[in-house]
Structure 1
Amino acid sequence: MDSRENAPPSSTSLLVSLRQQEAEVLARLQPLLTEHQLLPEHWRILAVLDEHPGTSMTLLAATAVVPAASLTRHVDRLVERALVVRRIDPDDRRRTVLALSPRGSAVARALSSVEAGTGSTTSRDRAAGARPLT
């Protein structure tokens, strides 16, 4: 059986293509997310904080594409699990910023490694010689 029969048909819609790529990446990440009891939103939060420690909640919501209304709940869970730490912003003591804990950094590195193995294109696109979106 040809593996292309199981692949969804390609689309010229950018949004459809992006969602298909997201689904493929999440399928690769899911075993590790399950192992660490993380949701995809948690991974996006960890990924942003790995690249940008000291990020505010407002900026984190926009960058990680997590609705502000649910971000506090997700961050609270990550803080409870000792993956993220809250700190007072040294430049504005009224503001809280977030960073990864050492444990959070280790989990982020493991997830980044799996994610990097997926590339930036779907398997169907790679087979067709497509370039990554980055």
Structure 2
Amino acid sequence: MAFFGGNQDGLMRHPRDSQAWKTFDLLHPEFAADLRNVRLGLASDGFNPFGAMSTTYSIWTVILIPYNRPPWECMNQSSFILSMIILGKKKAGNDIDVYLQPLIQELSELWYDGVQTFDSSKKETFKMRAALMWTISDFPRLGNLSG
């Protein structure tokens, strides 16, 4: 668990080294006190599966990235959580909030109420909480995701 002790040389190698993470810890000390609480990033992007053959169909993925692991693990594709796939005849655009409502509701519950979770290393249950730290998207999608 030496990873969770933080970076000593001042270089940013993981989001934990960022000013945003440190500010979040200062604003929410009860959340930061338990390292088992989950910090997430949300990434979303769309693509046309048929390339230039069809411009009337798109697929949008919404992926959650848990940042509680070392950088070589949290940015590994096997750690990504595919939260949803949005299919349609056009890009999700401003309507993405309709699709995101169940995810937003679940993340709100995880932030405010938490969920009883079993910690197998300590052989105990605890109330795990989760925080969405930031979103990752291209600039046009930033407006769609932030609503």
Q: TM-score, normalised by structure 2?
A: 0.27
Larger helix share, 1 or 2: 1
Structure having the higher strand fraction is 2
